[in-house]
Structure 1
Amino acid sequence: MSSLDTLAQLPAELLLIWHNHRIALLFSAVALTAFVRLTLYARRHRQKVSASPIPGSPVEKKAVELRPEWLPENTTIDTSTLNVDDHAEDVTNAVATIAKSKKGPKTVKGRKTPKKILVPAPNFDHKTDKIQPVVFFQSLSGTTERYATGFAKVLTEWTTGCDQSTSFLEPQVHDISYIEYDDYFISPPKLEANVKQFYIILLPTYNIDTVLDNFLENLQETHNDFRIDTAPLRSLLGYSVFGFGDKEGWPTEEEGFCSQAREVDRWMARLTGRKRAYPLGMGDTKADTADRLQEWRLGVQEALVEIAEGRGLGDGVPGSGDAAESDEEEDVEENNGQNTRVDEIEELGSMVDSETSTPIPVDFTNYKSKSKTLIKSTAAPKEMVPTTSPTHAALTKQGYSIIGSHSGVKICRWTKSALRGRGSCYKYSFYGIASHLCMEATPSLSCSNKCVFCWRHGTNPVGTTWRWITDAPDLIFDGITAAHYKKIKMMKGVPGVRAERFAEAMRIRHCALSLVGEPIFYPHINELLNIMHSNRISTFLVCNAQHPAQLASLVPVTQLYVSIDASNKESLRKIDRPLHRDFWERFCACLDILRNRRYEQRTVFRLTLVKGFNMAEEVRGYADLVERALPGFVEVKGVTYCGTSAAGSAGLTMQNVPFYEEVAAFVTELEKELNSRGLTYGIGAEHAHSCCVLLADKTRFMPRGKWATRIDFERFFDLHEGKIEGTRMEGGKVVGWRPEDYVGDETPEWALWGNGGFDPRDQRVYRKGKGPKAEEGEKDGASTTTKVKHEALEF
Structure 2
Amino acid sequence: MLSTSLCSLPSELLSLWHNYRLPILLSTVALLTILRIVVHLRQNRERLSQSPVPGSPAQLPESKDPLLLAPGAVEKVAINDGHLEDIAIAEPPLLRSKPGPKRVIGSRVPRQASRRTIEFDSEEDRIQPVIFFSSLSGTTEEAAKTLVKDLDAWRGASTPRVLQPQLHDLSYVDYDDFFVSPPTSAPSTKHFYIVLLPTYNIDTSLDPFLEHLKETHHDFRIDTAPLSGLLGYSVFGFGDKEGWPTEEEGFCSQAKEVDKWLARLTGRKRAFPLGMGDVKSDARQRLLEWRLGVQEVLRDIASGKGLGEGIPGSGAAVESDEEDVKDAEDDGAEESEAPRKARKPKKSARVDDLEDLGRMVKSSTSGDPSGPLAIDFTTYKSTSTAAPAPLKEMVPASSPTYAALTKQGYTIVGSHSGVKICRWTKSALRGRGSCYKYSFYGIASHQCMETTPSLSCSNKCVFCWRHGTNPVGTTWRWKVDPPEAIFAGVKEGHYRKIKMMRGVPGVRAERFQEAMTIRHCALSLVGEPIFYPHINEFTAMLHAERISTFLVCNAQHPDQLAALQPVTQLYVSIDASNKDALRKIDRPLHRDFWERFLRCMDILREKRKEMRTVFRLTLVRGFNIDEEVTGYADLVERALPCFVEVKGVTFCGTSTSAAAGLTMQNVPWWHEVRTFVLALNDELNRRGLRYGLAAEHEHSCCALIGSEAFRDAEGRWCTRIDYEGFFRCLESGKPFGPEDYRGPPTPEWALWGKGGFDPRDVRVDRKGRVKEVN
Report the counterpart of residue 584 of structure 1 in structure 2: 594
**Amino acid across the alignment from 1:760:** P
Report the counterpart of residue 713 of structure 1 in structure 2: 723
Report the counterpart of residue 583 of structure 2 in structure 1: 573
Would the aligned equivalents of 2:697 and 2:750 in 1 still touch at CA under 8 Å?
yes
Kindly state the Cα deviation for residue 594 of structure 1 after the two structures are TM-superposed.
Answer: 0.5
Report the counterpart of residue 429 of structure 1 in structure 2: 439
Change (3 A) 1:553 1:144: farther
- Asked if 1:632 is matched to 2:642, the reply is yes
Report the counterpart of residue 134 of structure 1 in structure 2: none
Instruction: Kindly provide the CA deviation profile for residues 682-734 of structure 1, in whole angstroms up to 9, marking residues without a partner as x.
Output: 11000000000000001334442000000010111111111xx8xxxxxxxxx
Report the counterpart of residue 345 of structure 1 in structure 2: none
Would the aligned equivalents of 1:178 and 1:450 in 2 still touch at CA under 8 Å?
no
Report the counterpart of residue 397 of structure 1 in structure 2: 407
Report the counterpart of residue 454 of structure 2 in structure 1: 444
Cα distance between partner residues in 2 of 1:770 and 1:694? 29
Would the aligned equivalents of 1:401 and 1:483 in 2 still touch at CA under 8 Å?
yes
Kindly state the Cα deviation for residue 177 of structure 1 after the two structures are TM-superposed.
Answer: 5.6
Instruction: Kindly provide the CA deviation profile for residues 716-769 of structure 1, in whole angstroms up to 9, marking residues without a partner as x.
Output: 1111111xx8xxxxxxxxx51110111111000000111100000011112359
Cα distance between partner residues in 2 of 1:745 and 1:446? 37
Report the counterpart of residue 603 of structure 1 in structure 2: 613
SS at match of 1:586: helix
**Amino acid across the alignment from 2:737:** R
Report the counterpart of residue 384 of structure 1 in structure 2: 394
Q: Tell me which of 444, 464, 470 is aligned to 1:454.
A: 464
Cα distance between partner residues in 2 of 1:465 and 1:419? 39
**Amino acid across the alignment from 2:725:** R
Would the aligned equivalents of 1:453 and 1:639 in 2 still touch at CA under 8 Å?
yes
SS at match of 2:406: helix
Would the aligned equivalents of 1:178 and 1:452 in 2 still touch at CA under 8 Å?
no
Would the aligned equivalents of 1:177 and 1:450 in 2 still touch at CA under 8 Å?
no
**Amino acid across the alignment from 1:693:** A
- Asked if 1:179 is matched to 2:178, the reply is no
Report the counterpart of residue 658 of structure 1 in structure 2: 668
Change (3 A) 1:509 1:556: same
SS at match of 2:635: helix
Cα distance between partner residues in 2 of 1:460 and 1:450? 10
SS at match of 2:646: strand
Would the aligned equivalents of 2:462 and 2:656 in 1 still touch at CA under 8 Å?
no
Change (3 A) 1:500 1:548: same
Change (3 A) 1:656 1:180: farther
Change (3 A) 1:436 1:650: same
Report the counterpart of residue 646 of structure 1 in structure 2: 656
Cα distance between partner residues in 2 of 1:382 and 1:588? 32
Report the counterpart of residue 151 of structure 1 in structure 2: none
Would the aligned equivalents of 2:763 and 2:771 in 1 still touch at CA under 8 Å?
no
Change (3 A) 1:180 1:615: farther
Instruction: Kindly provide the CA deviation profile for residues 19-73 of structure 1, in whole angstroms up to 9, marking residues without a partner as x.
Output: xxxxxxxxxxxxxxxxxxxxxxxxxxxxxxxxxxxxxxxxxxxxxxxxxxxxxxx
**Amino acid across the alignment from 1:405:** S
List, as ranges, runs of 4+ consecutive aligned residues in structure 1 with deviation greater than 4 Å. Answer: 141-146, 174-177, 768-773
**Amino acid across the alignment from 1:178:** P
Would the aligned equivalents of 1:448 and 1:463 in 2 still touch at CA under 8 Å?
yes
Cα distance between partner residues in 2 of 1:550 and 1:518? 11
SS at match of 1:540: strand
SS at match of 1:624: helix
Instruction: Kindly provide the CA deviation profile for residues 185-235 of structure 1, in whole angstroms up to 9, marking residues without a partner as x.
Output: xxxxxxxxxxxxxxxxxxxxxxxxxxxxx63x46x899x99xxxxxxxxxx
Cα distance between partner residues in 2 of 1:559 and 1:436? 19
Kindly state the Cα deviation for residue 652 of structure 1 after the two structures are TM-superposed.
Answer: 1.4
Cα distance between partner residues in 2 of 1:617 and 1:638? 16
The 5 A counterparts of 1:471-486 are 471-486=481-496
Cα distance between partner residues in 1 of 2:346 and 2:676? 38
Would the aligned equivalents of 2:462 and 2:587 in 1 still touch at CA under 8 Å?
yes
- Asked if 1:498 is matched to 2:508, the reply is yes
Kindly state the Cα deviation for residue 144 of structure 1 after the two structures are TM-superposed.
Answer: 11
Cα distance between partner residues in 1 of 2:737 and 2:449? 25
Cα distance between partner residues in 1 of 2:766 and 2:346? 31
Cα distance between partner residues in 1 of 2:598 and 2:653? 32
Cα distance between partner residues in 2 of 1:531 and 1:519? 15
Give the stretch that moved more between structures: 692-701 or 401-410. 692-701
Kindly state the Cα deviation for residue 621 of structure 1 after the two structures are TM-superposed.
Answer: 0.4
Report the counterpart of residue 757 of structure 1 in structure 2: 756
Kindly state the Cα deviation for residue 565 of structure 1 after the two structures are TM-superposed.
Answer: 0.2
- Asked if 1:617 is matched to 2:616, the reply is no
Kindly state the Cα deviation for residue 650 of structure 1 after the two structures are TM-superposed.
Answer: 2.6
Cα distance between partner residues in 2 of 1:756 and 1:517? 31
**Amino acid across the alignment from 2:751:** L
- Asked if 1:409 is matched to 2:419, the reply is yes
Kindly state the Cα deviation for residue 462 of structure 1 after the two structures are TM-superposed.
Answer: 0.4
Change (3 A) 1:769 1:535: closer
Would the aligned equivalents of 2:694 and 2:752 in 1 still touch at CA under 8 Å?
yes
Percent sequence identity is 69
Report the counterpart of residue 742 of structure 2 in structure 1: 743
The 5 A counterparts of 1:81-230 are 178-179=369-370, 181=372, 215=374, 217=375
Would the aligned equivalents of 1:180 and 1:574 in 2 still touch at CA under 8 Å?
no
Using structure 2 for the length normalisation, give the TM-score: 0.51
**Amino acid across the alignment from 1:763:** V
Change (3 A) 1:541 1:180: farther
Would the aligned equivalents of 2:463 and 2:650 in 1 still touch at CA under 8 Å?
yes
**Amino acid across the alignment from 2:438:** Y
Cα distance between partner residues in 1 of 2:712 and 2:647? 22
SS at match of 1:378: coil
Change (3 A) 1:501 1:769: closer
Using structure 1 for the length normalisation, give the TM-score: 0.50
SS at match of 1:440: strand
The 5 A counterparts of 1:680-719 are 680-719=690-729
Would the aligned equivalents of 1:410 and 1:441 in 2 still touch at CA under 8 Å?
yes
**Amino acid across the alignment from 2:369:** Y
**Amino acid across the alignment from 2:739:** E
Kindly state the Cα deviation for residue 379 of structure 1 after the two structures are TM-superposed.
Answer: 1.0
Kindly state the Cα deviation for residue 180 of structure 1 after the two structures are TM-superposed.
Answer: 6.6
Change (3 A) 1:507 1:772: closer
Q: Tell me which of 473, 479, 483 is aligned to 1:463.
A: 473
Kindly state the Cα deviation for residue 596 of structure 1 after the two structures are TM-superposed.
Answer: 1.1
- Structure 2 gaps, min length 5: 1-344, 351-364
Change (3 A) 1:570 1:144: farther
Cα distance between partner residues in 2 of 1:642 and 1:591? 28
Report the counterpart of residue 510 of structure 1 in structure 2: 520
Cα distance between partner residues in 1 of 2:730 and 2:472? 34
Instruction: Kindly provide the CA deviation profile for residues 322-371 of structure 1, in whole angstroms up to 9, marking residues without a partner as x.
Output: xxxxxxxxxxxxxxxxxxxxxxxxxxxxxxxxxxxxxxxxxxxxxxxx9x
Change (3 A) 1:518 1:701: farther
Cα distance between partner residues in 2 of 1:570 and 1:703? 43
Aligned residues: 416
Would the aligned equivalents of 1:175 and 1:649 in 2 still touch at CA under 8 Å?
no
**Amino acid across the alignment from 1:607:** L
Cα distance between partner residues in 1 of 2:445 and 2:470? 25
Would the aligned equivalents of 2:764 and 2:771 in 1 still touch at CA under 8 Å?
no
Would the aligned equivalents of 1:561 and 1:605 in 2 still touch at CA under 8 Å?
yes
Would the aligned equivalents of 2:573 and 2:615 in 1 still touch at CA under 8 Å?
yes
- Structure 1 gaps, min length 5: 1-140, 147-173, 182-213, 226-369, 726-734, 779-795
Cα distance between partner residues in 2 of 1:445 and 1:598? 27
Cα distance between partner residues in 2 of 1:676 and 1:706? 22
Cα distance between partner residues in 1 of 2:368 and 2:739? 43
SS at match of 1:500: helix
Kindly state the Cα deviation for residue 438 of structure 1 after the two structures are TM-superposed.
Answer: 0.1
**Amino acid across the alignment from 1:398:** Q
Change (3 A) 1:177 1:705: farther
Cα distance between partner residues in 1 of 2:378 and 2:720? 47
Kindly state the Cα deviation for residue 772 of structure 1 after the two structures are TM-superposed.
Answer: 4.7
